[in-house]
Amino acid sequence: MTEPIILAIDTSCDETSAAVTTGRQVLSNVISSQINLHKKYGGVYPALAKRAHLERIDHVIAEALKRARANLNHQEPAAVAVTYGPGLAIALEVGLAKAKELSANYRLPLIAVNHMEGHIYSCLAQNRSGRPQREVIFPALCLLVSGGHTELVLMKDHGRYQVLGETLDDAVGEALDKAARILRLGYPGGPIIERLTEQALPSSKFKVQSFDKAQDKSVKFLLTPPLRERGNLNFSYSGLKTQFLYLVQKMSETELGQNLADLAAAFQEAAFEQLIRKTSDAIEIHQPKTLLCGGGVIANRYLRTLLRRLAKENQLPVFFPPAKNLIGDNAAMIGVAAGYKFQRKEFVENLETLDREPRLSL
């Protein structure tokens, strides 16, 4: 059976994206990033994001259709899918309004998708040849790490989720962005910290098997990990940020300059230690059959190495988004999630009453 073709849209934050998918296969995935616009503000500036989405959305959709050789007039996409939350309200509105307009004009069913569900499904996306072919075995444990979220979710089946833990304050990506700001580096901080860390002395690399020992002996700067009690699957990053701020404030300019790489490494390690520890606890408690990891922070090679090692120790298959443009915000992951909703006939019944939900949870 051929899967229906879906036109998907995501404008949840600072990327304007449209994609065409069929089942798990991505036929096109166009992403217009606004990073350069927001850089000078050191974070996403909502009003600017909205304007940029409005300016770019038609072109991004046209390009996605063209690259997939799809044509709305021929009703080739059989449905329109759109992110309705979580995200920035005024950014979400742009994609939602456009999706409603297309749905009404071309008489296509509309599928509303949770952005975090999209990050989960990014792990199942395939290219036009249907690769990679891997199948998820349920229950799956999902680790979602982005600029706005840090969550552990138990996925019992397609579309069935139980949030096991989430951040009580900052998200891990946000924490990395703040650490980079404390070091007076650029935005977004995650990739900058990763690059710096690669220059750090080998002594500041910790060993995943024994975080505590490694932290005692070889890390040049010590940060105390929060929420140590086992079985608590929530995350916290604000304490780490404060410790880091105090550590940096005590340093002279010269000291700071000389220790940038080690400071970045200390922060990244403490941040990832918490992710690995909580994921490990969740595996022990919930005995999942697959580990799915998504969200912008998964771009980090070191984090993927740590997660691969953890999965291996637990004999668990681990999936990451199979291509770079499926890691950060993108519409292809929304299309893949929507494919499963199409099968379940989860269509929006009334376009009028569908509204953006900035705080939507799984």
Binding site for ligand KG4 (CB under 6 A): 13, 146-148, 173-174, 176-177, 188-191, 194, 295-297, 299-300, 328-329
> Minimum Å distance from CB 228 to Zn ion?
28
> Minimum Å distance from CB 136 to Zn ion?
20
Nearer to ligand KG4, 194 or 262 (CB): 194
Which of the residues 108 through 147 are near Zn ion (CB under 5 A)?
Answer: 146
Task: Report whether 268 contacts 197 (CB < 8 A).
Answer: yes
Please list, in sequence order, all residues whose beta carbon lies within 8 angstroms of the beta carbon of residue 66, skipping any fewer than 6 positions away.
28
**Binding at 188: pick from ligand KG4, Zn ion, none (beta carbon under 5-8 Å per type):** ligand KG4
Please list, in sequence order, all residues whose beta carbon lies within 8 angstroms of the beta carbon of residue 37, skipping any fewer than 6 positions away.
14, 45, 48, 49, 52
If we measure between CA atoms, which residue out of 271, 291, 352 comes closest to residue 103? 352
Q: Phi then psi for 91, rounded to 5 degrees? A: -80, -45
Strands 290-294 and 140-145: parallel
Q: At what angle do helices 46-67 and 89-105 cross, to 10 degrees?
A: 30
> Minimum Å distance from CB 331 to ligand KG4?
13
Placement of tokens 């990014």 in the chain: 122
* Distance, CA of 310 to CA of 136 (rounded, Å): 18
Provide the total of helices (H) and of strands (E) in the chain, helices listed first.
11, 10
> Minimum Å distance from CB 145 to ligand KG4?
8
* Distance, CA of 187 to CA of 177 (rounded, Å): 7
When asked if residue 177 is in the footprint of Zn ion (CB under 5 A), the reply is: no
**Binding at 177: pick from Zn ion, ligand KG4, none (beta carbon under 5-8 Å per type):** ligand KG4
Nearer to ligand KG4, 102 or 176 (CB): 176
> Minimum Å distance from CB 65 to ligand KG4?
24
> Minimum Å distance from CB 147 to Zn ion?
7
> Minimum Å distance from CB 146 to ligand KG4?
3
Q: Phi then psi for 145, rounded to 5 degrees? A: -130, 110
Tokens of 269: 């390690």
Query: Between 140 and 169, how does the x/- string for binding to Zn ion read (CB under 5 A)?
Result: ------x-----------------------
When asked if residue 174 is in the footprint of Zn ion (CB under 5 A), the reply is: no
Nearer to Zn ion, 147 or 288 (CB): 147
When asked if residue 29 is in the footprint of Zn ion (CB under 5 A), the reply is: no
Query: Between 321 and 350, how does the x/- string for binding to Zn ion read (CB under 5 A)?
Result: --------x---------------------
Tell me which DSSP letter residue 4 carries: P
Strands 160-166 and 290-294: unpaired
Binding footprint of Zn ion on the chain (CB under 5 A): 146, 329
